[in-house]
Structure 1
Amino acid sequence: MLNVETLYVTNPPYINHVNMIESRGFNLKYINFFDYNLIDINYDLFLNDLRNIPNGSSVILQISCYNPCSVNIEEKYFDEIIEIVLHKKHVIIFDIAYQGFGHTNLEEDVLLIRKFEEKNIAFSVCQSFSKNMSLYGERAGALHIVCKNQEEKKIVFNNLCFIVRKFYSSPVIHTNRILCQLLNNQNLKLNWIKELSQLSQRITNNRILFFNKLETYQKKYNLNYDWNVYKKQRGLFSFVPLLAKIAEHLKTHHIYIINNGRINVSGITKNNVDYIADKICLSLSQI
């Protein structure tokens, strides 16, 4: 029995995590994660917080393409994370909404989860197929709970059945059939993996093209920002805190980004990238 009262999320958080946690009456606390000066994860602060929160804490970790910051936890830190979790007996809830977008293949994006399983650590995974299967309007996903033994598995299963019966009783079936057909047919699955890899590579190319264009257009406005640091980001978005300052102004040029500086690079193309880069640099020159 966990008796969870508090959930920890990495900072800055995915805003829907905050809304969901608070709406269910849990206490919400933050652990350090993204460093706005480094434009990357501050591993010293992150791991230190993971060590110093109370034993048995419940922590939500995004597994790849961290939203909103578009970063992946580096593999070289996996063993240290596992060591801390084992020692502190933390309960990890993995959120994976972008499998296939963080690395060149699906398995690399879930390597930390695999390592948890190898160590026989109990954990949960909240998985979404909305983006990687282009089923956004269908709310396709799965909840995986890895238990330590059969007895624990039975208890968890019975509790889930009780919750589901009160919550939605029976899930929709047509989306499940789409997923099952795709994953159980080897040819369809291989085609999906191939097309997802192509999509992921296109987004990566978009990101590099976008920041290369910013490097070019900033000269027109006598700006001198370092855009290289953003080229290694992953996923559908790029997180550029600098752009938060001009988010409202960009609307006058019909460019729409999140107010924290997150921009959807999947919507950038060779046909619009010059316009976008030029107007961003123009707006930056006016602040």
Structure 2
Amino acid sequence: MLSKTVLQRATAAPTRLSLTQQQCARAASFWTQVPQGPPDAILGITEAFKKDSHPQKINLGVGAYRDDMGKPYVLPSVRTAEQKIVQENMDKEYAGITGVPDFTKAAAVLAYGKDSAPLKEGRIAITQTISGTGALRIGGAFLQRFYPNAKAIYIPTPSWANHKAVFLDSGLEVKQYKYYNKDTIGLDFDGMLADIKAMPKGSMVLLHACAHNPTGIDPTEEQWKAISDAMKEGGHFPFFDMAYQGFASGDTDKDAFALRYFLKEGHQPCLAQSFAKNMGLYGERVGAFSIVTSSPEEKAKVDSQIKILVRPLYSNPPVHGARIASKILNDPALNKQWLGEVKEMADRIITMRALLKENLEKLGSKRDWSHITSQIGMFAYTGLGKQEMERLAQECSVYATKDGRISVAGITSGNVERLAQSIFKIVG
């Protein structure tokens, strides 16, 4: 028999680990070497805005459309398309690897135009993606794997913040070319052309098709023609990012000018499309990646490799958002309604630009604010510096990114006067 002392020891509650033992246990974690990542700028703006108790605070950091009451907006055409889908009692089976065919066909027509020669000749490989970000990621991965020249892509300075991260994670080297002139708050066209001409032959170049993010500064049609010539001269490969088709000018054909002109000039670009902005399908993540090839046979090879890329990433894309977009693009009545709604959204943003400029001028500002109305799309570069943007937030409860970019969609007829007064208070 066990002694009483032994039994007491065996049945006693286990002793707690000493502080040193606990520290050793924690040190043994697999994740102790994981560094803290930098804070997200937009999330920081959102958090600061939420904490601010000012009754007339303004958030100009959100990259999503808002109506004139400052509320999220669901397009009526989207509501109708959803109702039609529900009424059709559709199943929830997997889409193919490259997505919903009716959607991808219509997306290609929207971008390239119904009279596009590569489209008619069956030379465009296209896949549905997880919005525009997914399109860029698939494109970056395809180029990293198959582009025959240097695996470096040139992006404008500045560019959408996620471009660099997406392409780096795709395995590409990221370089930059001149785009923004801070002195004129406009396009550095000469610098851009010079940089394109100085690139190594056969370089990959990212181009914003319209409504450049973050500056809102687009080349003119004549400037696009000169850019095309410089690209052709260098044998460069154009990668278009078109996240705002229709949302920039209100005209989907006008906003596709650069892409379609490059096609006519013999370029064989690839394209990332997003339907987040122009259909308000932010949370549905609807996009497409396409690439122009030289023949149907080449298209079939490219298509097969895109499928090989997609399969281990997410197998196949979600169907609901693509079905909504497909309804809108393929139903003549819904399409007409949607085009009208897109123009209304674009026109509201154009009006807010004009009102902001008008109010600043009425206040007697000595600055030239013409760039506010010459820029286009959801975002505008104000020309304000980091310290001025910080003062706007601290003294006026107006929140935006510290580089001076504002989301014009956050301006309303109810807050534009106060916004102008706030800017005038800070910069005069």
- Is 1:277 matched with 2:406? no
Aligned partner of residue 203 in structure 1, secondary structure: helix
Partners of 1:272 and 1:83 lie apart in 2 by 44
Larger radius of gyration: 2
Partner of residue 67, structure 1: 213
Q: How does 1:173-192 map to 2 (within 5 A)?
A: 173-192=319-338
Partner of residue 128, structure 2: none
Q: 249-258 vs 127-136, which deviates more?
A: 249-258
1:79 deviates by: 2.5
Partners of 2:318 and 2:407 lie apart in 1 by 30
Aligned partner of residue 122 in structure 1, secondary structure: coil
Partner of residue 373, structure 2: 231
Q: 12-21 vs 126-135, which deviates more?
A: 12-21
1:22 deviates by: 2.2
Q: How does 1:68-83 map to 2 (within 5 A)?
A: 68-83=214-229
- Is 1:265 matched with 2:408? yes
Q: How does 1:47-126 map to 2 (within 5 A)?
A: 47-126=193-272
1:243 deviates by: 4.8
- Is 1:156 matched with 2:302? yes
Match of 1:205 among 351, 372, 396: 351
Partners of 1:118 and 1:244 lie apart in 2 by 42
Seq. identity, %: 31
Letter matched to residue 245 of structure 1: Q
Partners of 2:181 and 2:209 lie apart in 1 by 18
Partners of 2:165 and 2:329 lie apart in 1 by 32
Partners of 2:199 and 2:270 lie apart in 1 by 19
Aligned partner of residue 241 in structure 1, secondary structure: coil
Given that 2:208 and 2:240 are in contact with CA atoms closer than 8 Å, whether structure 1 keeps it comes out as yes
Q: 1:80-118 CA deviation, whole Å, 9 max, x = no partner?
A: 222222222211110011111322411011111112222
Given that 1:101 and 1:234 are in contact with CA atoms closer than 8 Å, whether structure 2 keeps it comes out as no
Q: 1:179-228 CA deviation, whole Å, 9 max, x = no partner?
A: 111111000000000111111111100011011112223x3xxx521112
Partners of 2:250 and 2:418 lie apart in 1 by 29
Letter matched to residue 84 of structure 1: A
Aligned partner of residue 235 in structure 1, secondary structure: coil
With normalisation by structure 2, the TM-score equals 0.63
Partner of residue 142, structure 1: 288
Aligned partner of residue 7 in structure 1, secondary structure: strand
Partners of 2:229 and 2:418 lie apart in 1 by 48
After superposition, the Cα gap between the structure-2 partners of 1:276 and 1:78, relative to the gap in structure 1 and judged at 3 Å, is: closer
Aligned partner of residue 102 in structure 1, secondary structure: coil
- Is 1:21 matched with 2:167? yes
1:245 deviates by: 3.0
Given that 2:250 and 2:345 are in contact with CA atoms closer than 8 Å, whether structure 1 keeps it comes out as no
Partners of 2:370 and 2:215 lie apart in 1 by 15
Aligned partner of residue 50 in structure 1, secondary structure: helix
Equivalent residues, number: 281
Given that 1:39 and 1:229 are in contact with CA atoms closer than 8 Å, whether structure 2 keeps it comes out as yes
Q: 1:114-170 CA deviation, whole Å, 9 max, x = no partner?
A: 122223321101011101100111111111111122232122111101001011101
Given that 1:14 and 1:67 are in contact with CA atoms closer than 8 Å, whether structure 2 keeps it comes out as yes
Given that 1:121 and 1:148 are in contact with CA atoms closer than 8 Å, whether structure 2 keeps it comes out as no
Partner of residue 6, structure 2: none
Letter matched to residue 390 of structure 2: E
Partners of 1:68 and 1:244 lie apart in 2 by 15
Given that 1:120 and 1:148 are in contact with CA atoms closer than 8 Å, whether structure 2 keeps it comes out as no
Partner of residue 245, structure 1: 387
With normalisation by structure 1, the TM-score equals 0.93
Aligned partner of residue 238 in structure 2, secondary structure: strand
Partner of residue 121, structure 2: none
Gaps of at least 5 residues in structure 1 are none
Given that 2:381 and 2:406 are in contact with CA atoms closer than 8 Å, whether structure 1 keeps it comes out as yes
The structure with higher relative contact order (CA 8 Å, sep 6+) is 2
Aligned partner of residue 276 in structure 2, secondary structure: coil
